[in-house]
Amino acid sequence: MTPKRPKTTNALGDISLLYVSVLLRAIEAEGGKTEKLQTQFHLGDSALASPESRISIPRYMRLGHAGITLTGNPALGLRMGALTRPADAGLAGFAAETAPSIGQALSTLIRYSLLTSQNSRGEPTVDKTARLARFHSISPYNQYNYFVVDSILAAWVQLVRHMTGRYDVLERVCIEYPSIGLDELFESWFRCPVEFGATENSIQLKESVWRQTPTQSHDAMHSKLTNWCEEELREIQQGWSVGDRVQRLMTPLLRGETPTLETIAAKLGTTPWTLQRQLNSEGTGFRQLLDETRKQLAKDYLKETNSSLSEIAWLLGFANPPAFHKAYQRWYGISPGESRKIIRKER
């Protein structure tokens, strides 16, 4: 049995170095030298060789931006997708490859995404009826996170192409961020219409592809591999308290609003009073967790992103920027603007 992974130390989440390896391969494929980047971002060979090693999501985004700057390719995420193999998705990638259908393969990848990443913004989902795989919103978008959406959607598509031996696998692609002037390149790569400025990030597979059997399909191995995935998933989740689960559900809901006890209880499949009782037994409460979550995220948003203070206020669910300023002053005894100045000076 695998050891329990420690909880992420960054409120915004972390990601396996498996993804970093793909990024470094893409940079090299574009003619970039990665030695300096590996030194700058403390990516030693031993860490890159370990499937358990992680990097904070903000640091991963800075690495991606550095790679784009180095190569001059703003579509580096597509290159990452083209170089993605089942092994790069970890155990979930091998389990997906042996699934009985492509639809089940995508569902497998997404069900076990927690094995390789923990993201406070949300989790990917599958809509089997519409044959859609969705990647959660990471707005507000900027030059540091466009490539994340590109690489995830492109990786899903590349894995489907690998499992089917086909390139024309999609009906459409939706990308939430606005066009950056590369529409034709994206449509050429995905081989289908691509909508920018959409309401979601998603790929929709053709019906025949969704039902197709992967070339490496194997019922017995799929069952064995998914059992291993389930075991690892339980190992991760067993370490979560009720408060941890509340904070995990709360964070993606903060954007532009304040989640309620009733909303979180419904997502946990319990009643508000039962959830409050469980939290009380852990020595905490819903309002306290909401305040702690905002406090942790606020510090990381200021330190790790270039989001404006008004954007951070929205991401934390405050009614307006002054409300965020007041809360930050209460938490840290300093305004968020002054805090950011100090962080940048230290950096």
- Output the pLDDT for position 344: 83
HSE of 146, CA atoms in CB hemisphere, 13 A: 20
172 three-state secondary structure: strand
Mean pLDDT computed over 314-341: 94
Lay out the sheet containing 117-119: strands in order across. 54-56, 13-16, 117-119
What is the band of 5 on the pLDDT scale with cuts at 50, 70, 90? very low
- In the numeric block, the tokens 């066009």 are attached to 179
* Cα–Cα distance measured from residue 186 to residue 192, given in angstroms and rounded to the nearest whole number: 9
- In the predicted model, is pLDDT for residue 2 greater than 60? no
Cβ of 23: how many Cβ atoms within 10 Å? 24
- In the numeric block, the tokens 């470094």 are attached to 24
Lay out the sheet containing 201-205: strands in order across. 125-127, 132-135, 201-205, 170-175, 194-196
pLDDT digit string (tens) for 82-134?
999 999 999 999 999 999 999 999 999 999 999 999 888 889 999 999 999 99
Cβ of 65: how many Cβ atoms within 10 Å? 17
Task: Please return the burial class of 329, using the count of CB atoms within 10 Å of its CB with bins 0-12, 13-18 and 19+.
Answer: middle
- Output the pLDDT for position 99: 98
Q: Domain 240-346 is classified in which CATH homologous superfamily?
A: Homeodomain-like (1.10.10.60)
- In the predicted model, is pLDDT for residue 186 greater than 50? yes
**b/e burial code for range 187-207 (CB count within 10 A of at least 16 → b):** eebbebebebeeeebbbbbbe
- Work out the angle between the directed axes of helices 286-304 and 272-281 (0-180°, nearest 10): 80
Cβ of 165: how many Cβ atoms within 10 Å? 9
Q: What percent of the chain has pLDDT over 90?
A: 79
- Output the pLDDT for position 117: 92
Helices assigned H by DSSP within the chain: 17-29, 35-40, 45-49, 57-71, 76-82, 91-97, 102-111, 146-164, 183-190, 207-211, 219-238, 242-253, 261-268, 272-281, 286-304, 309-315, 321-332, 336-346
- Output the pLDDT for position 266: 94
Cα–chain center distance at 282:
29
Domain locations in the chain?
75-236, 240-346
- Output the pLDDT for position 347: 66
Mean pLDDT computed over 155-174: 97
- In the predicted model, is pLDDT for residue 4 greater than 90? no
- Amino acid, res. 289: L
pLDDT digit string (tens) for 134-143?
999 988 898 8
Query: Residue 99 corresponds to which tokens in the numbers above?
Result: 């699934």
- Output the pLDDT for position 255: 86
- In the predicted model, is pLDDT for residue 170 greater than 50? yes
Q: What is the largest CA-CA distance in the chain?
A: 59
pLDDT digit string (tens) for 228-286?
999 999 988 887 899 988 998 898 899 888 999 999 999 999 999 999 999 999 999 99
Phi/psi-derived region of residue 283, left when phi > 0, alpha when psi is between -120 and 50, beta in every other case: left
